[in-house]
Amino acid sequence: MAEHSHWLVPQLEKLSKSRPDRIDDILAVLKRERPEIFEEIVLIAIDHGHISRLQAAELLGAELQGVEFRLQVFRDAYEADAESQVIELNRQGVAHIAGKHVTVWEIVREYRQAGSVDEIRGAFPALTEGELRAALAFAGRNPDEIGSQILAYEEFVKRSHEAYPFARR
């Protein structure tokens, strides 16, 4: 099937716009015939911010607590794979979100101040929850690297304030 994805995904997107009822039919068949794939699609949609956990519970016919458990199992199972797709190193070797200019250390720095992924979503509205979690997972496996980047930034800010004491903070 992978050899078909180059044409299949764009066709499904077109079909969803021109005939949304047909996509509903496809999803109904998928839910009935391959519920594990349907569930995976729903969980990915949560991670990408396309649906809420409550909507997922309705789609899956599950309690909210069950959705939370399934989401955690899904994230644990796919964490390394997702991270490898989401995190890239730039020319300087600094980890950032693929296709975006947000570095992992910036996300971690904000996370340390806020304390939760939900709290930092507002600071990075262009990033999905999955991207934020992948950045935090990468940082968890590379704490010295990320810590030194945060420290370098904070030292730069401190030197700048000392050099320009009247500059706005």
| pLDDT tens figures, 38-97 | 998 998 888 777 899 999 999 999 999 999 998 888 877 766 565 667 888 888 889 999
**Model confidence pTM above 0.75:** no
| Of the candidates 101, 107, 138, 141, the residue with the CA atom closest to the CA atom of residue 123 | 107
Q: Evaluate if residue 5 carries a pLDDT over 70.
A: no
Sorting pLDDT into bands at 50, 70 and 90, what band is 115? Answer: confident
Q: Evaluate if residue 169 carries a pLDDT over 60.
A: no
Write down the pLDDT at residue 82: 59
Question: Are 87 and 138 a contacting pair, CB within 8 Å?
Answer: yes
CA distance 43 to 95: 26
Fold of 34-163: Arc Repressor Mutant, subunit A (1.10.10)
